[in-house]
Structure 1
Amino acid sequence: MSTKNVQQQQQHVVVPAAVVAAMATPCPVGLLRCAIPLLFGFAVGIAVAVSLLGSATPAVPGGDLELFFPLPPAAANLSDVRQRQPSSTTTTTERRQPEREPTTIRSPLQPVDTSGNNSTPQALRVVGVKGQETAAAASGIDTSDDDELMNLAAAAPRETAAGAVPKVAFLFLTRWDLPMAPLWEKFFEGHRALYSVYVHTDPAFNGSDAVEGSAFHRRTIPSKEVKWGHISMVEAERRLLAHALLDRSNARFLLLSESHVPLFDFPTVYSYLINSSKVFLESYDEPGGTGRGRYKRGMSPAVTIGQWRKGSQWFEMDRGLAVDVVSDGVYFPVFKRFCKRNCYADEHYLPTFLGIRRPSAIANRSVTWVDWSHAGPHPARFTRLDVTPDFLGWLRGGSGGTCVYNGETTTLCFLFARKFLPNSLTRFLRFAPKVMGFG
């Protein structure tokens, strides 16, 4: 307050004459006659002072009282708290109701248009809850301890939670980063309620995490070193499955690599996997050196040579089989002990295990296309010049062949393809909107 304002207020202060007279009266008489005027004068003076201070101070609720009796901090902020509270007309149920996100799914066996004209009608509407917990946060355990993690996942329910919208868990087994991540971001966009992502990378990889809002943000699980052709590949697969099982809404589980690319939009892939009566895993008997020739005699009697099977590493399975895999205390220990030195457990463990336990559940094919037409231990790789609309249309059309889906013959056989080099990303981003229906 300025000096000028204070002077102006002082000019308008009028002290009642009774007050002045009472305060100036001498007390030659008794104490009682002196005390009464003094008390009256003191009370009137306090009232005048409060009135003056109130007129010179902004009108704040409780402001005058706080000059003499300061309120505790909680009471001082009470008005702010009341303003932030939801309206009393909103019920508790309405406040807790999760936000819903609609997603449209087409029939998995609708004809596939490989010409680039994606005018397929939308058939099925699925509603899901937004958001998903990270596996580590949901578990509350030390997920870097494989034994503890497997025990927890083995106790997970074999069915999805009642009322939950089933999700597909995308399990990325990578060496370092995910160079095709921008393409996958386009693929996942708009379908947050229907998928989960889990990434297993080399523990030495120190790349920065994906930005918040990305499908890959904080989705890397506690990982361990993986060696090609070693049992550590299977351990990483089981680690991914175990983390994904901690989310009770995950219904299907799909293993992918850093060189995988999607060939169709998300609704097509989701519907194809969720509605399948089979799981997509190869399991066949190969008599040659790359099949039965890798069998180790020490595995008998748990695994006989007649039960030995081979197949692609890139599997897709349902929740019940995933629980069987992480709880396997019979076959996995045998593979871990004996499948060494040119045994390649990643090509034999799951085909053998599921071939023994649930052969009728297997479609005996993979939904990932790779080119094994060249000799050697690895499939062919593709660069940016290989990525053309014609090539992608050929892959989407079954690569010239047919397969069986839920008892019907179809050309929609491969949902993904792999071994595409990072420099092919720009071509995929360019052709995906026209050819693959997303982006």
Structure 2
Amino acid sequence: MYSSSPFIFSLLLLLSIPAIFYVAPRILPPKTLPAIPDLDEADDLALFRRATLSSSSSLRLPPPPSPPKIAFLFLTNSDLSFAPLWELFFRGHHRSFNLYIHLDPNSKLNYSLLTPSFVGRFIPAKATQRGSPTLISAARRLLAAALLDDPSNAFFALISQHCVPLHSFRIAYRTLFSSPRLPSHRRKSFIEIVAHEPNLMNRYVARGDGFMLPEIPFEDFRVGSQFFVLARRHAVAVVRDRRLWKKFRVPCLKAREDSCYPEEHYFPTLLSMQDSEGCTHYTLTRVNWTGSVGGHPHLYGPGEVTADLVRELRRSNSTYSYLFARKFAPACLEPLMRIAESVILRD
């Protein structure tokens, strides 16, 4: 009887090993933040291939007869509260822009708030989450949809539901196409690219020490605003990329969650490495980081909305004044509409 005990013990131990591997992940806390589902990644890859092939084919064709357009890419997970203000901004210029919306499918949208320019402009979307590469995927989806939709889309402006215009459409268009005869391969992208930032190393190792190597050495790692205006060739470069994406698609370590802002690094790093001279290194979207909390910028309330605030937000140390600004609370719509015609949209 006793002689069989070691055998039984060994057998039980052997049988328990699979159970440990099955139960442990359900008991122990995850080591990484949530990853992008494989099915979502496969869908995106097919979409990006179509957009890349379509754009490559269009390069061999004569330029489209219509004037170049701005593609406005709205990335949102809540109501588009400022649609009435944007509608005034777009008024009379519908031959010069296209609009695309990526709405998190887990969000509930009040469709009664949508104005005509926004109706029917939703693209197939996937779930997004702050601090994860899903925000990068959503922006790439918007770029791909706009590339496929209209070869006249020459610039691609990423906008959030909290963004508002600071100038008229006429000024925005003139800013981007300041040299209308400039060939498309020489148009610059308005994207912030910063090489030196105090916490850059912490962000670089958010997925683990040395994980970004060899594709992205630390000296090539960049940071910048999530919101940009890309020239068409750079939009194509983004949806075509596989090399850097295989690093950025990996979720950050849970222990380094406070340093995980992939959407602020992927686009500036990629374009800095591929065509730094073709980018302005500054954004056209103004954000106020004074008193930021939890990585969120200052949220303007209705009591702060004045003509002086708009004029202040326009000011920039770069070549051009800011065209857009964030982050505004939905309650700001009424005071913004009061000064829309007299201040914001007045040339």
**TM-score tier (shorter):** 0.7 to 0.9
1:413 to 304, 321, 335: 321
- Are positions 1:156 and 2:87 aligned together? no
**What secondary structure sits across from 1:243 in the alignment?**
helix
2:81 and 2:113 in contact (8 A); partners too:
no
**What secondary structure sits across from 2:87 in the alignment?**
helix
Name the amino acid aligned to 1:279. Answer: S
1:197-346 paired onto structure 2 within 5 Å: 197-207=99-109, 209=111, 214-246=116-148, 247-275=150-178, 277-289=187-199, 291-296=200-205, 297-337=210-250, 339-340=252-253, 341=257, 342-346=259-263
1:94-105 paired onto structure 2 within 5 Å: none
- Are positions 1:402 and 2:317 aligned together? yes
**What secondary structure sits across from 1:233 in the alignment?**
helix
TM-score, normalised by the number of residues in structure 2 = 0.77
In structure 2, what is the Cα distance between the partners aligned to 1:344 and 1:358? 22
- Assess, with a 3 A threshold, how the Cα gap between structure 1 residues 208 and 287 changes in structure 2: closer, same or farther: closer
In structure 2, what is the Cα distance between the partners aligned to 1:436 and 1:236? 29
How far is 1:213 from its partner? 7.5
1:169 and 1:251 in contact (8 A); partners too:
yes
In structure 2, what is the Cα distance between the partners aligned to 1:212 and 1:201? 13
How far is 1:413 from its partner? 1.7
How far is 1:274 from its partner? 2.6
- Assess, with a 3 A threshold, how the Cα gap between structure 1 residues 334 and 233 changes in structure 2: closer, same or farther: same
- Assess, with a 3 A threshold, how the Cα gap between structure 1 residues 206 and 279 changes in structure 2: closer, same or farther: same
- Assess, with a 3 A threshold, how the Cα gap between structure 1 residues 210 and 352 changes in structure 2: closer, same or farther: same
- RMSD after superposition: 2.4
Deviation string, structure 1 residues 193-249 (Cα, Å, up to 9, x no partner): 100000111102343646997110100111111101110000000000000001111
Name the amino acid aligned to 1:383. Answer: G
Task: Name stretches of at least 5 consecutive residues in structure 1 with no aligned partner.
Answer: 1-141, 405-411
- Are positions 1:387 and 2:300 aligned together? no
In structure 1, what is the Cα distance between the partners aligned to 2:47 and 2:190? 25
- Assess, with a 3 A threshold, how the Cα gap between structure 1 residues 189 and 382 changes in structure 2: closer, same or farther: same
Name the amino acid aligned to 1:387. Answer: V
- Assess, with a 3 A threshold, how the Cα gap between structure 1 residues 366 and 213 changes in structure 2: closer, same or farther: closer
Q: Which has the higher helix share?
A: 2
**What secondary structure sits across from 1:218 in the alignment?**
coil
TM-score, normalised by the number of residues in structure 1 = 0.62
- Assess, with a 3 A threshold, how the Cα gap between structure 1 residues 220 and 374 changes in structure 2: closer, same or farther: same
**What secondary structure sits across from 2:141 in the alignment?**
helix
2:87 and 2:115 in contact (8 A); partners too:
no
**What secondary structure sits across from 1:358 in the alignment?**
helix
1:260 and 1:418 in contact (8 A); partners too:
yes
- Assess, with a 3 A threshold, how the Cα gap between structure 1 residues 278 and 390 changes in structure 2: closer, same or farther: same
1:348 to 265, 268, 277: 265
How far is 1:375 from its partner? 4.3
Task: Name stretches of at least 5 consecutive residues in structure 2 with no aligned partner.
Answer: 1-39, 180-186
Name the amino acid aligned to 1:170. Answer: F
How far is 1:339 from its partner? 4.7
How far is 1:157 from its partner? 2.4
| Number of matched pairs | 287
In structure 1, what is the Cα distance between the partners aligned to 2:159 and 2:64? 28
1:153 and 1:245 in contact (8 A); partners too:
yes
How far is 1:288 from its partner? 2.2
**What secondary structure sits across from 1:310 in the alignment?**
coil
2:70 and 2:157 in contact (8 A); partners too:
yes
In structure 2, what is the Cα distance between the partners aligned to 1:428 and 1:298? 46
1:186 and 1:438 in contact (8 A); partners too:
no
Name the amino acid aligned to 2:312. Answer: W
2:83 and 2:113 in contact (8 A); partners too:
no
2:83 and 2:115 in contact (8 A); partners too:
no
- Assess, with a 3 A threshold, how the Cα gap between structure 1 residues 211 and 285 changes in structure 2: closer, same or farther: closer
Deviation string, structure 1 residues 80-102 (Cα, Å, up to 9, x no partner): xxxxxxxxxxxxxxxxxxxxxxx
In structure 1, what is the Cα distance between the partners aligned to 2:311 and 2:113? 32
How far is 1:378 from its partner? 1.3
In structure 2, what is the Cα distance between the partners aligned to 1:388 and 1:211? 23
Report the identity percentage. Answer: 37
In structure 2, what is the Cα distance between the partners aligned to 1:212 and 1:298? 43
Counterpart for residue 370 of structure 1: 287
Choose between structure 1 and 2 for higher RCO, CA contacts under 8 A separated by at least 6 residues: 2
Name the amino acid aligned to 2:94. Answer: R
1:181-196 paired onto structure 2 within 5 Å: 181-196=83-98
- Are positions 1:432 and 2:340 aligned together? yes
